[in-house]
Amino acid sequence: MNIFNKYPFLIAGIGDDFQVIAEKEGISDIDAIKYMIDEARDCGISAVKLQSYKSQNHFLEQSAISSSFTIDEYREIAEYCRNIGMKFLLTPLDLKSVDDFDEFLDIFCISSADLTNIQFIEYVASKNKPILLFTGASTIREI
């Protein structure tokens, strides 16, 4: 599977900004995410990326924190993306999320904060799916 057959392949990272939209527009968080996905698609974005974890399961507590939806809500977001032709990417930051999201992810993303977390990377790799390994917060030596 080559998800990068559309050039350029642009990924929009969706953080907690959706909460501002939800509050301002008086809509649910899920509807705000869908709105952001639609806007990204209309701008020519190829994929959207979210991250999630439950802090008690996370290896590196100092990593960036992002809001967490339920597994069913992430499944709904992933299905929405599929229905409109967008790729759904997710950066799980704990083992339980890796297991939970495995059923509906075609590809896993690994945060640059976990670049040296070999145990975590090996666990994600055990799912036998492609991995996008981010390096933004890493040193050349770590990479």
Residue 9: the pLDDT is 85
pLDDT in tens, the chain (143 residues): 565 666 788 999 988 889 999 999 999 999 999 999 999 999 999 999 987 655 444 444 433 434 578 999 999 999 999 999 999 999 988 899 899 999 999 999 999 989 999 999 999 999 999 999 999 888 899 88
Q: How far apart are CA 62 and CA 46, in angstroms?
A: 29
Encoded tokens for 26:
């008086």
Encoded tokens for 62:
């100092």
Residue 57: the pLDDT is 47
Residue 54: the pLDDT is 53
The pTM score is 0.81
Taking Cα atoms as reference points, which of 40, 29, 89, 91 lies closest to residue 65?
A: 91
Encoded tokens for 61:
């507590």
Q: To which residue do tokens 């806007």 refer?
A: 39
Q: Strands 108-110, 131-133: parallel, antiparallel or unpaired by DSSP?
A: parallel
Residue 7: the pLDDT is 76
